[in-house]
Structures are given as structure tokens and as C-alpha cells.
Structure 1
Amino acid sequence: MPDSSPTAAATKPAAAAPTRSFGRFELRALLNKSARTMLWIVYDERNEQELYLCMPRVAPNSPAAAEDWQKMANAGARVKHPNLGNVVEVGQVEHWPYVAYERALGETLDERLARGPAPVPNEAADWICQLLEGLAFAHEAGHAHRDIQAALVVISPTNQVCLLGLEVAQEVFPANANFNAVTRRAVREAAEEDVLCVGLLLHRLLTGRPVLELNDLQMVIQQMQPIGHEVVRLGWETPHPIPDPLRAIGNRATDRQARQRYHMARSFLRALDGWRTAANADDGGPIALLIDRLQRVGHLPGTTTALNAVAQSSSMGGKHISVLAELVLKDMALSLELLRRVNNSLKQQGAPVDGTVLNLQRAIAMLGLNGVQEAARSLKPWPGVLAEQPAIMLRKLMDHLQRAGQIAQALRPAGYDAEVIYLITVMQSLGRLLVTYHFPEDAQQIRQLIQPLEPTPDHPNPAPMTEQAGAYAVLGCDLDTLGQAVARYWSLGDELQHMIRRQGADAPVRHADSDAETLRLTASLANELADALLQPEPLKRQAAIETATKRYARTLHIGLREVELAINPESGEGAPDEPEAPPVVAVPKASALRGRFTSGGR
């Protein structure tokens, strides 16, 4: 039986230590011993090569158990993937089974970390992504690892990562168990534990030291909530600065509440790879995936069937442009499609313009009736590619943004055009809209992550995750970045790209030194107020409204009375009676802002 205890001292100082053997293998070093597995370096005299030998910490307790172990290990050995160690041999010496791998695969992660400094975040993310690629493939083939440790992750000189020990750690059953009838722990449950262990490895790489100062990750799990009392979060004193998206991903992987963690290796991989790709290239990762979706299925489905009927009828030609603009504004997808088409056309023509067109009347005039009809026909009818439940969530989001746009119209400073502020308010949530439509499962994950957490004795008032952190943890980048990338892809100008960047919840609201900044901040306040209205409890809702008002009051010269009238215009006399679709204007360049966002003093 392999043993980690030191050999007996030599009776004479000059005598060589006896060679330890395991069958035909010469035992050279014990690299790791966890609660479930052991990893040895051995020398195979028959083939004259060094091998890794991975074996269970506890030998099977019966011939039937040994036979079942061999069956599962052989099945795991048949799973081939570049990031899973290629099995050389599955065998048994006496009652000890083992799985052998070539030592030439590389050095263990423990060995790599012991001989050098902690990797930079990009390198750590690359290693973990490779590990997750192999692990996800194994999980999808119906296998679980059950004892992921740093010593079982091997890195080649070219930074190729592979995982050793698949199906080596198996469940232990009584010696008289019937292995044809016994019910094993669900692979999904074991797979979730594998994913948690990978999250702990990411923490170790980023912090430069073992989590909770324990090398055995199974012992760490026993100390973590909800089983134990420890909370594993990335600290601030790390060998290298950790970018906020990567920090959010790492903290979600080891969240104290199990429901908040990654449950599948693919989900973890997608978030981490999304951040890694976006960090290396502005147009990569989730951005590239989203733009590909836009090219194939469009940005949003149409919501107004009556508009399509009008677009296909001859009566449309006799309608005034302002009436057509009013119809277009009721369809969020068509409004965005017209703006996309007219600005992309101007860019392709290379014609000099006074800035991005954010004027539906001007867009209609430039595209012509045929262009508007073509744009309307290009939209997929509601609900597009969505199933019933995701379509309901998208409709709720659109209604929410329409409410925010109406609040912004009521709060806009005197003289500014109501439709301009409405469209800017909606486009500040462009990323959220597109993710909800194109990646509904990811949008659902983000919604779940930002839900209030359940209080515990250790954390009676837990703070929920922000939407930005939730997007980081799911996609690897935030929703604003996605919206900005799409705005650039649509050839929208720099000025509009600035205005559709919503004010950060923690960022101070400073003096607005331009019309564009005034519009941006007004739209941001309207979106914060609309979000506050989603609070389920009246006291929390009112507190959120007052907090948002206080943030913007000095800059926008508004008070709580104006905000209350904007939210409930019917509650006071003299509330502004806004038309459903007021006139629209173009967004000019910064050098010509003054007076270009107004509508004749309306």
C-alpha cells in the first residue's frame, strides 16, 4: 500500500535508503494527499518513463467495489479532450487501483506556484478557462471529478492545462452494496462541487496563497458557508490588482449562498472567457457574440402590428411625417432600426453631417417612405426568437423603460425637446434590452443574482449584488459596455454615445457644463426613479426616490415636489400634459450644442 510516512532511518549513515515500490513502479515522490485521493510520481521500469499515478485515498472495500471502480475509471479514461489528461493505464496492485498519466504532460499547479510568483490576472484566467473547458466536457459526458486539487491540474511548458484524476475519487458504499442497484449521488450535485473547487483555485491564483490557508479544497468547502461559517471573498491586498469584472466573477464562484454560485462549468467558463476576451480586444467575447446575433436575427422584435399594416398600405404616403414619427415612436424596435439605418447610411456615404441623427422625422424624410416600409418589414414580429416566458420579461422591461422615458419628459429643463430626452432615456438601457432579447438565460441569471439575499445569523442585513456586478459575473462585461459597443457598431456619434452612458450609482453628480450633459443626467435620474418604483415596500420605495432626488437636485435644479409630479402627474394641478410623441430633433456635435436640443421653447 502506498504510504506518505517517511521510511525508516538507515541503520548505518552510509547505507542508501531502500527503494520503495508499488508493483512494477518505483515510488519517487508523493505530490499530494487529500481526503479523497493521492498523487505520486513513479518510475515505470517496463517502459522506462516517469508517470503520475493517481489513486483513491481509501482502497475499495470489496471485490465488487473494486470492479465498479475499474468500470467507472475506464469510462472516464475514454473521455478525450485536450484539457483532460490522457490516461496511459488503468490498473490495480493488490487491492489498490490507480490511473496513470505521463509525467511529460507538465508540472502540477502546486509545483508551478512554488517555483514562481503568482500569475497576473490574465494568465490566471487563461489557466482556469482551459480547466473549465475540460471539466465542462467531462460533465457533459456524464462524469464528475469529485476531488479537484491544485496538484491535479497540470501545466505544460507552453501553458497547456489539463486535469488529472477524472473518476478516481468515487463514492464509498458499504462492502455488501449491490453496485448494479445502488443509487449514486447525482452527477449534477458532484459537478457543482467541482465547479466550486475551480472557483477556489481561481482565488488561490489571484491571491497568491491557499484559501483559508488550507491546501485540501475539500476541507475548505467544509469550512465555508452554508456548511461552516467562513466566507471566501477576494481581498484587496493581492499580488496584482484585480479588475472589477474578474473580482465579481471570482466572488460569485465562491459566494456564501450556494444558489448564487455557478452551477455549471459552462456558465463559469462563459463569464470568465467573456472577461478575458473583452480585456484583450474591445470587439471580442460577448460583444462579438452580441453583434453576430444582431446581424443574424436583428436587434429587437417589432411590437406594433398596426404599424406594419400601415407601412404596407398606400395610405401611408399621404400621412404627415410628424404622424408617422408618432407611430414609429410607439414601436421601440422600429425607432432604433430607423436611427441605425439613417446613421449607417450617412457614414457609408461619407457625407458631412452636423452630428448623429436622433430625429425620427428627419430619419423618415431621409430614408423616404420606401425606406420606412423596408425597415418595418425587416423586423421580426413579436416575440421574435423568444419563448413565452422570456417574452414576458422583455415586455416588462420595455414597459419599464417607457415609464422612465415619460418621467424624463416631465423632468426635462424648459426648452428641451421631449422626444429627445425620451429616446436618450431608453437608449441608456440599450445593453439591458439587447441582453434580455438575445441572451434570455443570461438575463435571468443576472436578475437572480441581484435579488435581495436571505439574511443569516452571520449576515442579518446582506447587501444584494449590483446589476453591474451581476453582469460581470454572468457575461464578463457590464451592460453599459455592450450598449456602447452596439452604438458604435450602429455608427452613432460620440456625443450620443456619451449621453446614453448612464450615471453610475456611486459616482458623484457634478455640474452639467453642456446641454448634452444636462440631457444625460436628466435621463439618468429618470432611470433611477423608475428603478426605485420597483421596490416592493412603500417605505423603501420612497427612500430610494428621495435618495435619487437628493443626488441630482443641485445639478438639475429640481426638488422632491417636481419629482413626485413627474412620477404621478395626475396628483397635482398644473402637471405638464405631454403628448404621446412630441416633435424630435437631431443631436449635434458638441461645438454646436446650444439651442439644438430645444423645441421652440416648449
Structure 2
Amino acid sequence: MSDTSPASTPLRTFGRFELRALLSKSARSLIWRVYDARHGQELMLCMPREKPNSTPALEHWLRMAQGAERVQHPNLAPPFEIGQVENWPYVAYDRALGETLDERLARQTAPLPIDAAGWVAQLLEGLAFAHEAGHAHRDLQTATLLIDASDKVRLMGLEVAQEVFPATVDFNAVTRRAVRESAEEDVLCVGLLLNRILSGKPVLEENDLQHVVQQMQPIGREMVRLGWETPHPIPDPLRAICNRATDRQLRQRYHLARSFWRALDGWRQAAAHDDGGPIVLLLDKLQRQGHLPTTTTGIHRFTAGSGLEAQHASALSDLVLKDMALSLELVRRVNNALKLSGHAGETVLNMQRAIQMIGLDGVQLAANALKPWPGPLAPVAAEMLRQVMARVVKAGQVAQALRPAGYDGEVVYLITVMQNLGRLLLQYHFPDDAQQIRQLMVPPEPTEELPNPPTLSEQAAAYAVLGCDLDALGAAVARHWGLGDELLQMIRRQPLDAPVHPPRSDADTLRLTSSLANELLDALALPEARRRPGVEAATRRYAKALGLGLREVMEALNPGAARPGQTPPAPAGARTAAPATPAVAPSPLRSRLAGRG
């Protein structure tokens, strides 16, 4: 990005240094490639664009630069020397640390997105460490990133472009506030760097990122979003991360380098290994905290008997289905036992059958393995988890009411629950991230220019926070539990941007029925003016595939408002009588899921 030029004749000098090339010139700093005759090596000199305006200001500059020198991190370039020439302070770095990002992009114009994300993730690691130590950069440019032959990235120039204060100011009083505000600007500039690398061209046709910041909203009028004409296709999660970093709304952007790094690293890990980043963290938490906390305390009263009479099993099944954590734990244990016994192709999602297979002692062991409510959650996060669980239960009940004749109600209910597994686990194990995702989905305030401002979808918001979507979290845990490929397919929701085709199998029917129920509950969570249109839009999407109309959907959503003479749909886990419609011959899949195989 920089204005580079060969050395002039005669040679120019700065103190003992021979100036060989200007690597970068921005509004706040300069970077020179120099030759140090004393040590016989090339260095890079970073210095402020303006000389400190007083002796106290120079002393403050040197003190801050020396403090930054003590912040040691693999992704922060160690200074070779800190000094001043005729009151011009500088920080020198060894040229052998690598080439600048400018120089790399000059010879490698279109790095792959995964490489670009790797460079920026390394930058963010070093920057986060510096911010947490109380230091800021204030002039991140493509020339301040050094990349060596093995793609290791280091940031140079920390504390070179310091705030310019009046000569009489008390530096100790203003430094802490200045660092905090400058740190957020650093994070924004990292987003601009990522945009620059992925797009293959300067942002807003400006080389100096400080000029870009001044043109962006809310200071200026420009919006910065990653365009569609890029050297390589950009994956949706990476695009969402990049666009969030430069969002026109301040509240939507990353405010901490660590948060930006988590999202970017989560995507890199998931893209490279299919189960990295937040997925690895989640699986680790599952080992220590379980999947969800139990809400049932009286399970021992039902398991005290010695027999397994049909009535006893039915009552116990009803109780288990009211406890989401226990239901999922029995599904995990029963299907894992089937897999270990050589029945890898079988899946049981009928709770009464699962209880018969695992026995009363097995139910008690499963209940004892769960943490009591609310686990490690603070009261506010526990209340949010309770609300998410209530919404999932309602979706399961709606799916039961909408299921075609001949399909087991418990199976449909549990598939609907497991389509929300990622959301439930996120709220329990990462409540702060769940809150970030909800905030990103809130539309910004309308303006004259944008009376109907766009908002992020849940998927895009999850990409921007975690680097992966919530369905991927749920699928990874289901795979970790040993559930079969058939069930893994059924617990993936129908994508919102994909058309709904008529089901070709029982698995498709179950998946679509549960997807419709979940979309209907999402519509009910919209602002009041958008609820009815949302319900109608979801109904139209699935009407032809599932043979349902708005009347059936409204009856499922409001079972208490059913017409006289109609039987309202049963809640989750309730024993349901056979439907009045003609019986449908059970398929092998339905028999296996109900445990009748």
C-alpha cells in the first residue's frame, strides 16, 4: 500500500542510519528501510509522522515505547532498538524478521482465503495480547505486518503513532482513556486489512487505512462491505466475519481483538479439520459439565419398583420427556449401546422403548450423571436457557400436531428437539456468545436513507461470533454421541434459502415436519407486526411438500382454540390414540426409530 521509492542520490541519512527506501507513509507514521553501518545489517525504522511537541511529550513517547517493548508475544515483533535523533523518536526492527504484507501482496496478489484468515488470526493474537497489557498500535497498515518464509506473522510499530496532546497535558491522566479508545480503532483496522487481502484491492481505493476510517460511518458516509468480485470465492462464514468487523453500526462491530480472533480461528479450525474451534471447546465442556442440566428431582420415585409394567413404563416415559436433559441422555446411552453391540444401523427415538432397553437402573444412572439445574449458569443466563428450552418444547408439540398419520409422536418430538441441539448447548455452555448472536440479529434503528435496515440472520450472526453455524455444533455433538448417519441427516434443519421439495423418504418427512415447526416458532419470536406474515411464509414454503394448509398450522400453534368436537394435539410424551385417518403401513425406518425392529 505504501509509497515506495529507491534511495536518492546523494544518500540520505538519519543519524547513523542510511535511508534506503520508504516502505510506508501514512497520516500518522513513517516506515523506512535503512542500513545500520554500526551493526552491518538492514533494519526497518518506524517513527511518528510528527515530532513530539515538547520534552515531556518526547519522554512520554519513549516511556510508552519501552513499555511496549516489554510486552513479548510470538506475534509481536521484538524491537531491535528504541532511540531518538534530534528529538525524532524511532523504533528499529530487524529486517530479517520478514517482508511486509505490502511486499507479500506485490508478489502474491491473490492469497487463498484460508491463508489470509491465518495471517489475520496471528495478527489478532498478538494485538489482543498487547491490548490486554495496556498498549495500542493506532496506525495498523499493510506495511506494519511482517510475514516470514514460513508464514509467521508479527506486528511491528506498537506505540509508535501515539496520541498528539497539548504540550501542557498530564500524560498519565489521559493515556488510559486514549489506549482504550485506540484499541477499538485497531480492531476496526484489522477488519479493513482482512477486507483488503480478500478483495485484492485497497479499501475505498485508499492506501492509508486511517483515511478509510475517517470516511466510514458514523464519522463519514461510506459503508465498507466485502464485494462479490473477489480473486477467490469467499466462504459465507468468512464473509460474515469480515463484514461484521467493518459494520456501519458501531454496536455490531467487534470491540475486542480477542472476540474477533475467536470467530476467525473458529472458522479456520472448522474449515481445516471439520471439528475444530468452538466445536472442540464444546466437546471439552460436555465432558466436564454434561450437555444440559436436569430439571427433574423425583425420578427415584418412579424407579423404585422392581418390575417394568406397561403402566409404570408409560408414566416414567412421560416424566422423562418433560426433562430435556434426561431425554437426550437416554437417547445417547441407548443408541451408543446399540452401536457397541454391533447394531450400528439402528436408532431408537421412542422413549418408552429406550427405557425398556436400558432398564430402571439405567434410567437412575442416567439421571444421576446430570448436573442439577442450573449447573454453572448465573441467574440471568439460567433464565435465558429456560426460555430457549420452553421454545424448543413448544416446537416439539407443534411438530407432533403437524406430523402425518402413522408417525410416532415421541420420535417427531425428539427430532425437533435435536434440530435445536446446537442452540441449547450454546446457551448453556457459551451464554455470552449466545447473547452476542441475539444482539447481532436485532435490526438497527431505521434512518431516512435506510427506513427498513437489513439485519443478520441467525446463521450469519453465528458465523460472525463463532466462525461456524449452530447446526454444525449440534451435528458435531450428535456425531460424538455415536448417533447414526440417518439421524444426523434428520436433525439438520431445512436451509432457509433452499426450496422445499416433496419428501422422498420417511427421513425426509420427519426432517421437514420438524423444520416447519421450528420455523413457525422462529416466526412467533418476531416483532408483533411480522409474526402473522412470518407464519404464513413458513406455511407456504412447506404446504405442497407436506400437504398442510394455514388452518392446520394455526390449529397446531393454538391447540386450545380448536373447534368444538376436535381433540387438541397431545403434549410432548403424552400417550396418543391412533389417528382417525386410514392406517399407514409402517416403514422399516419408522419401526426402527420406534424400537419395534
TM-score by length of 2: 0.94
Distance (whole Å) between structure 2 residues aligned to residue 115 and residue 41 of structure 1: 18
SS in 2 for 1:87: coil
Identity of aligned residues (%): 66
How big is each residue's C-alpha offset from its partner over 1:88-145, in whole Å with a ceiling of 9 and x where there is no partner? 1110000100011101101100011012221000110110011011001101111111
Cα 1:40/1:579, change in 2 over 3 Å: same
| 8 A contact 1:145–1:165 mirrored in 2 | yes
Whole-angstrom CA distance in 1 between matches of 2:5 and 2:147: 28
Counterparts of 1:527 and 1:274, CA distance in 2: 26
CA distances 1:551-602 after superposition (whole Å, capped 9, x unpaired) = 1111111111111111111223244333432359xxxxx98236667899xx
Residue 340 of structure 2 is aligned to residue 348 of structure 1: yes
Paired position in structure 1 for 2:553: 563
- Amino acid aligned to 2:179: V
Cα separation, partners in 2 of 1:266 and 1:182, compared to 1, 3 Å: closer
Q: Report the AA paired with residue 417 of structure 2.
A: V
Does residue 1:453 correspond to 2:449, yes or no?
no
Q: Are the equivalent residues in 2 in contact too, given 1:311–1:373 (CA < 8 A)?
A: no
Q: Which amino acid aligns with 1:564?
A: M
How has the CA–CA distance of structure 1 residues 6 and 492 changed in structure 2, closer, same or farther, with 3 Å as cutoff? closer
1:305 match: secondary structure: coil
In the alignment, residue 339 of structure 1 is paired with which amino acid? V
Matching of residues 41-440 of structure 1 within 5 Å: 41-182=33-174, 185-307=177-299, 309-310=300-301, 313=304, 320-350=312-342, 352=343, 355-440=346-431
Once the two structures are superposed, residues 154-213 of structure 1 have per-residue CA deviations (whole angstroms, 9 ceiling, x without a partner) of: 101111100011011111111222334446534222111111101110011101111111
Task: Tell me how far apart the structure 1 counterparts of residues 433 and 194 of structure 2 sit (CA, whole Å).
Answer: 22
Provide the rounded CA distance (Å) in 2 between the counterparts of 1:312 and 1:194.
59
Contact 1:83/1:162 (<8 A) preserved: yes
In 1, the alpha carbon distance for the partners of 2:274 and 2:494 equals 21
User: Do 2:267 and 2:468's aligned partners in 1 also have CA atoms closer than 8 Å?
Assistant: yes
Does the CA-based 8 Å contact 1:91-1:99 persist in structure 2?
yes
Residue 583 of structure 2 is matched in structure 1 by none
1:417/1:583 contact within 8 Å kept: no
Task: Give 1:471's aligned amino acid.
Answer: A
- Look up the match of 1:498: 489
Residue of structure 2 equivalent to 1:541 = 531
Compute the displacement of 1:305 (Å). 2.1
Letter in structure 2 aligned against 1:241: P
Change (3 A) 1:193 1:565: same
SS of 2:80's partner is strand
CA distance in 2 between partners of 1:384 and 1:181 (Å) = 43
Amino acid at match of 1:49: Q
Question: Residues of 2 paired with 1:391 and 1:575: CA distance?
Answer: 37
How far is the alpha carbon of 1:455 from its aligned partner? 1.8
Q: Distance in 1 between matches of 2:307 and 2:121?
A: 54
Contact preservation (8 Å) 2:349, 2:594: no
Residue identity opposite 1:332 in structure 2: M
In structure 2, the residue corresponding to 1:61 is in which secondary structure?
coil
Number of the residue aligned with 2:580: none
Q: Distance in 2 between matches of 1:6 and 1:496?
A: 63
SS at match of 1:169: coil
Q: Number of residues paired by the alignment?
A: 582
Aligned to 1:587: none
Unaligned segments of structure 1, at least 5 residues: 9-15, 585-589
SS at match of 1:185: helix
Partner of 1:593: 589
| Matched position secondary structure for 1:134 | helix
- Cα distance, 1:548 vs structure 2: 0.7
- Counterpart amino acid of residue 207 in structure 2: N
The offset of 1:226, in angstroms, is 1.4
Distance (Å, rounded) in 1 between the aligned partners of 2:247 and 2:174: 33
Instruction: Look up the equivalent residue of 1:55 and give its one-letter code.
Output: M
Structure 1 CA distance, aligned partners of 2:369 and 2:428? 17
Aligned residue identity for 1:469: A
The TM-score normalised by the length of structure 1 is: 0.93
Alpha-carbon deviations, 1:369-415, whole Å to 9, x = none?
11110100110000011111111110000000111111111111122
Change (3 A) 1:174 1:5: farther
Letter in 2 for 1:524: S
Q: Report if the CA contact (8 A) 2:77-2:93 is conserved.
A: yes
Following the alignment from structure 1 to structure 2, what is the Cα–Cα distance between the partners of residues 221 and 475? 26
Per the alignment, do residues 365 and 184 of structure 1 end up closer, same or farther by CA in structure 2, a change over 3 Å counting? closer
Paired with 1:441 and 1:138, the residues of 2 have a C-alpha distance of 23
Matched, 1:526 2:522: no
